[in-house]
Amino acid sequence: MIWLRSCIFNVLFMTVTAFCAVIGMALLPFHARYTRSFIRLWARSIIWLMRIICGIRLRVTGLEHVAPGAAIIASKHQSAFDTFVWPALLEPTSYVMKRELLDLPFWGRVARHTGAVAVDRDGGGAALRGMVRDAKRVLDEDRPLVIFPEGTRSAPGERLPYQPGVAALVISSGAPCYPVATNSGQHWGRRAFHKMPGVISISIMPALPAGLARKPLMETLEAQIEAETARLMGGAAPVDKPGE
């Protein structure tokens, strides 16, 4: 039954997403707020399909912590689900994402139009400065920005090194940074066909103290996210994985 439900959902997910990408292209001549509203509708539709077809419900706690205006959402990243859920929760949201994703046909152009920020993970210091510059444009518009501190997806229970981009962004912008934990990978695994029923939990914690230097900021951020993620996954201890 899980296989059948997953098959139906995956087909619908790809079909609906492709259809919405075409509509998104048609919206490019208009102001980005219309495209963002459409993406919000798409994200909520996928979340509804997950619940109806796969039996996956979404539970979000701590959303009240996020003040209106500029905000940095520093989230654990376990699943493709994390890459589209935030427009359904906060409006108008943009993401920091790998540059190659913005080069994809259709969706890449739509993402750029809505203010997505590209980061070249192999570009060194110049790429980091470019990411910070582009991200500040989003924050200067008093909009929330989602960044995945690990830089890529990690398997449930896996702990990847946290990258310095999030600290550079927080320190340079002065925007509040909210640590976020999730167990999304337990239900929508990385490159996994099966979608497992249950509850995807997202836990948004209070903003980090203002004015932290780089090292304590990174240590506090990682400690809070990993501890809360372990709790959401049932207490599983994270396993460190060295950077590649």
What letters, b where the CB count within 10 A reaches 16 and e where it falls short, cover 195-213?
A: bbbeebbbbbbebbeeebe
What single letter denotes the amino acid at residue 168? A
Q: What are phi and psi of 156, to 5 degrees?
A: -55, 130
What single letter denotes the amino acid at residue 24? G
ω into 92 cis (within 30 of 0): yes
Model confidence over 137-150: pLDDT tens digits? 999 999 999 999 99
CATH-assigned architecture of domain 2-240: 3-Layer(aba) Sandwich (3.40)
d(CA 96, CA 117): 5
What is the number of other CB atoms lying within 10 angstroms of the CB of residue 60?
Answer: 15
Query: Which pTM was predicted?
Result: 0.91
Picking from 176-180, 220-224, 239-243, which range would have the lowest pLDDT averaged per residue? 239-243
d(CA 137, CA 172): 12
On whether the CB atoms of residues 89 and 60 are closer than 8 A, the answer is yes
**3 state SS of 61:** strand
- In the structure encoding, which two tokens stand for residue 85, read together? 């859920």
Model confidence over 217-226: pLDDT tens digits? 999 999 999 9
**3 state SS of 56:** strand
On whether the CB atoms of residues 93 and 86 are closer than 8 A, the answer is yes
The residue extents of the domains of the chain are 2-240
